[in-house]
Amino acid sequence: MTKREHINIVWLKRDLRLLDNEAISNALKSGKPTLIIYVFEFILLNDEHYSKRHFNFIKESISDLNKQLESYNTKVLAIDCDIQSAFNILQEFYRIDTVYSHVETGLLITYNRDKEFKRYCRNNFIQWQENKNNGVERGLVNRDNWFENWESYMAQDLEVFQPKDNQLLSITAIDNLEKVFTVTHLDTPSESKFQKGGSTVGWKYANSFFDSRHEDYMFNISKPEASRSSCSRISPYIAWGNLSIRQVFKAGKKVKSASKYKRHISAFLSRLRWQAHFIQKFEMEHTMEEASVNKGYHKLKKSISDTYQQAWFEGKTGFPLVDASMRCLIETGYVNFRMRAMLASFFTHILWQPWQSATRHLSQQFLDFEPGIHFPQLQMQAGETGINNLRIYNPTTNSLKHDPDAIFIRKWVPELAPLETPFVHEPYLMTEMEEAFYNFKLGEDYPQPIVNIKENRKRASDILWNMKDDPEVRRESSRILKRHTISQRNRMLRDE
């Protein structure tokens, strides 16, 4: 039998970048030949939280990596496989010494996969070295000094990409491996309304934000249309690891020191801490994927309405800002934070549906789907944490305040575009005469409101406020605050 060459492997997951990638840096520091792989795992390809837009973004990110790797005569081995089968095949060609990757705060299926892979490595005498991802730590029992540790992590030097000559497996060697794998075709639609993946594009968004777009950040952050240009729009690049939080944090602090708009940059930087805080919370409370973190709310029962849910899924609820936000999200993969919160609030409060019924639809639409943000945020907006203020968003109030000229609504609900602005916000106020004047029929050209918002809002408010006094809810609230340190939480909110 031919003697197998010893190599290390970098297993890319949500860290699709070369710079400030600790897994790649650690592998290169070993001095051994290194192969970089990305596995389009069947468990994720078939998972209901993911959709084609996510995998296209990943493919674009890998294509971008491959362009950067051309000068090193290498590329990423991108394959459709499950992870253990992939390593079984690789071991027929190479002796794998160490696998490098980051600790992934993902879905339960990826956590279980990692536990199985750890056993696989042990049984095959392979070392598996995992590094911290964006300052999130595994195994914490409380949040003592967490923000100080996170800021210390942010202050560390960025990891560099400095492979030795011929250290990365050659394209010829990878081409030979591709003959025994199902190779992932990296082609994606050239024309789409989704942001393109990759560090190169990610930095274009980041740099344009830091150069000028941040100047109106706080003024427009809640406006559904203006926020599309005034917000950074780098969330997909952070979610899939095209940019590290540390890279962005350092770049933002540098801009802040010289900017006339320090308040806007400070607000942006605080949201990087906020992002890490929620992922850390999910890391420590993994049951949040299926059940409310506050066990007191497990007794809250809601009747499922397929009719309500389908109307919400399609953006046909009869509430213009809700429908515009959903249609925009479906078509572009993005709406701002306030519109996301409003969509979740409308579903869980006004329609009185369980947040679990919204998780898969929303995760499939969010181009920046990040489990550590997704589940804690849904529960917070549903009012089922016991530690956050209850927020029941009124879509009409929000449209009048944040889209007063109905620019966003007209764009995404074009059937309302010919109406006068007051009726775009509230088409259900039109009289028969006004409908005739506009040649518009409510219930045919645009849906009637599917619920009475005033009555439903009161029902949700009464039930959820009363539940805050439930003994089990109160006990769980204390446990959650103790586990995640209320003093640090207050500091985070104050910094925002």
- CATH code of the domain covering residue 473: 1.10.579.10
Final residue belonging to a domain, choices 251, 284, 317: 284
Final residue belonging to a domain, choices 257, 284, 311: 284
Alpha-carbon gap, residue 59 to 464, rounded angstroms:
43
Least confident of 113-117, 192-196, 467-471, 481-485: 481-485
Over its C-alpha atoms, the chain yields an Rg (Å, rounded) of 24
In a domain? residue 122:
yes
Average pLDDT over residues 175-182: 98
In a domain? residue 399:
yes
**Are 295 and 407 members of one domain?**
yes
Confidence at residue 145, expressed as pLDDT on a 0 to 100 scale: 87
CB 278 within 8 A of CB 271: no
The DSSP secondary-structure symbol of 208 reads H
Alpha-carbon gap, residue 144 to 133, rounded angstroms:
19
Neighbour tally for 28: CB within 10 Å: 22
Neighbour tally for 388: CB within 10 Å: 15
| Residue 461 pLDDT level (bands cut at 50, 70, 90) | very high
In a domain? residue 425:
yes
Alpha-carbon gap, residue 98 to 102, rounded angstroms:
13
Confidence at residue 137, expressed as pLDDT on a 0 to 100 scale: 93
In a domain? residue 192:
no
Confidence at residue 11, expressed as pLDDT on a 0 to 100 scale: 98
**Are 20 and 101 members of one domain?**
yes
Average pLDDT over residues 378-394: 93
Average pLDDT over residues 145-152: 91
**Are 341 and 426 members of one domain?**
yes
**Are 329 and 472 members of one domain?**
yes
Per-residue pLDDT of 257-281, as tens digits, reads 999 999 999 999 999 999 999 999 9
Neighbour tally for 210: CB within 10 Å: 20
**Are 151 and 278 members of one domain?**
no
Sequence-distant (≥ 6) Cβ neighbours of residue 235 within 8 angstroms: 334, 368, 370
Alpha-carbon gap, residue 449 to 319, rounded angstroms:
6
pTM score:
0.95
Per-residue pLDDT of 329-371, as tens digits, reads 999 999 999 999 999 999 999 999 999 999 999 999 999 999 9
490: pLDDT strictly greater than 60: no
**Are 462 and 342 members of one domain?**
yes
Instruction: Identify the CATH number of the domain in which residue 261 sits.
Output: 1.25.40.80
441: pLDDT strictly greater than 80: yes
What value does the mean pLDDT of the chain take?
A: 95
Instruction: Identify the CATH number of the domain in which residue 169 sits.
Output: 3.40.50.620
Alpha-carbon gap, residue 294 to 378, rounded angstroms:
13
**Are 315 and 463 members of one domain?**
yes
Confidence at residue 492, expressed as pLDDT on a 0 to 100 scale: 44
Confidence at residue 36, expressed as pLDDT on a 0 to 100 scale: 98
In a domain? residue 186:
no
Continuous H helices in 217-261: 217-220, 227-230, 235-239, 245-258
In a domain? residue 101:
yes
**Are 227 and 305 members of one domain?**
no
Average pLDDT over residues 7-27: 98
Final residue belonging to a domain, choices 266, 284, 302: 284
Confidence at residue 485, expressed as pLDDT on a 0 to 100 scale: 66
Average pLDDT over residues 385-392: 89
**How many helices, marked H, and strands, marked E, lie in the chain?**
25, 5
User: String of b and e for 137-173 (b: at least 16 CB within 10 Å)?
Assistant: beeeeebeebbeebeebbeeeebebebeeebbbebeb
Percent of the chain with pLDDT over 90: 92
Per-residue pLDDT of 230-255, as tens digits, reads 999 999 999 999 999 999 999 999 99
In a domain? residue 365:
yes
Confidence at residue 489, expressed as pLDDT on a 0 to 100 scale: 47
**Are 243 and 381 members of one domain?**
no
Domain count, the chain: 3
Least confident of 68-82, 313-327, 447-461, 472-486: 472-486
**Are 437 and 486 members of one domain?**
yes
Per-residue pLDDT of 289-336, as tens digits, reads 999 999 999 999 999 999 999 999 999 999 999 999 999 999 999 999
In a domain? residue 189:
no
**Are 43 and 164 members of one domain?**
yes
Domain that holds residue 157: 5-178
**Are 423 and 443 members of one domain?**
yes
493: pLDDT strictly greater than 50: no
8: pLDDT strictly greater than 70: yes
